[in-house]
Amino acid sequence: MAFFKKSPWLLHYDASSCNGCDIEVLACLTPMYDVERFGCINTGDPKQADIFLITGSVNHRNAAIVKNLYDQMPEPKVVVAVGICAYSGGVFADCYNVKGGVASVIPVDVYVPGCAAKPESIIDGVVQALGVLEEKHKAFRANRKGSGGKYEISDSYSAEPAEAAQPNAEEAHHA
Partner 1 sequence: MDLPLLLVLLPLVCGIVVASIKAFNVRKYFVFASSLLLAIVSIACVVKYAKSLPVRISYDAEWIQPLMLGLELFMAGMVAFLAIKYKKKLALVLAFAQVALAIFFEVRYGESIPIHTDIVIDQLTIIMLLIVGIVGGLIGVYATGYMKTYQEENPDVPDRRRYFFLVLFVFMSAMFGLVLSNNILWMYFFWEITTVCSFLLIGYSRTEEAVRNSFRAIVMNLAGGLAYMGAIIVLANDGGILEFDRLSSVPPVFLAIPLTLLCVAGFTKAAQLPFSSWLLGAMVAPTPISALLHSSTMVKAGVYLFLRIAPLLSSSMPGYLTAFVGGVTFLVGAVLAISQRNAKRVLAYSTISNLGLIVACAGIGTYQTIWVALFLTIFHAVAKSLMFLSVGTAAAGMGTLEIEGMRGLIIKMPRIALMMLAGICGMFVAPFGMLISKWAAMEALISLNNMVSPVMIILIAYGSAATIFFWTKWMGTIIRERNPHARSGLYEHHVSGEEYASMFILTVMTILTCVLFPVISSFAVEPYLVSTYGHAFGLSRSNVFIMIIMICMLIVIPALLIAVPWRKKVTMGTAYMGGRTVTEALHFEGSAGADKQVQVQNYYLTRYFDEKRILPVGIIVCTILLMVMGGISLL
Partner 2 sequence: MTTQLYVAIGYVLFAPIIGGLMAGIDRIITARMQGRKGPPLLQPFYDVFKLFQKQNILVNRLQLPFVVCHVIFAIFTGFLFFQGSDVLLIIFVLTLAGVFLVLAAYSTGSPFSAVGAERELLLMMGYEPMLIIALVGMYEVAGSFDMYKIMNAPVPVVLYLPGIYLGIVYILAIKLRKSPFDLSTSHHAHQELVKGITSDMGGATLALTEISHWYETVFLYGFLFIFFGANPIVGAVGVIVTFLLEIAIDNAVARVKWEFMLSSAWLVALIMGAGNLIPLFLINRG
Q: Which residues bind partner 1 (CB under 8 A)?
A: 13, 45-47, 64-66, 68-69, 71-72, 74, 144, 147-154, 156-171, 173-175
The answer to whether 52 and 79 have CB atoms below 8 angstroms apart is yes
How do strand 58-59 and strand 78-82 relate by DSSP bridges?
A: unpaired
Residue 19 is a binding residue for partner 2 (CB under 8 A)? no
Closest CB to partner 1 among 37 and 47? 47
Residue type, 113: P
Residue 3 is a binding residue for partner 2 (CB under 8 A)? yes
Closest CB to partner 2 among 51 and 58? 51
- Give the bridge partners for 80, in sequence order: 53, 110
Following CA atoms 51, 52, 55, 59 in sequence, which dihedral angle do they give, to the nearest 10 degrees? -160
Could you say which of partner 1, partner 2, none residue 169 binds, taking C-beta under 5 to 8 angstroms by partner kind? partner 1
The answer to whether 54 and 16 have CB atoms below 8 angstroms apart is no
Closest CB to partner 1 among 66 and 122? 66
Closest separation in Å from C-beta 35 to partner 1: 23
The whole-angstrom separation of Cα 23 and Cα 25 is 5
Residue 65 is a binding residue for partner 2 (CB under 8 A)? no
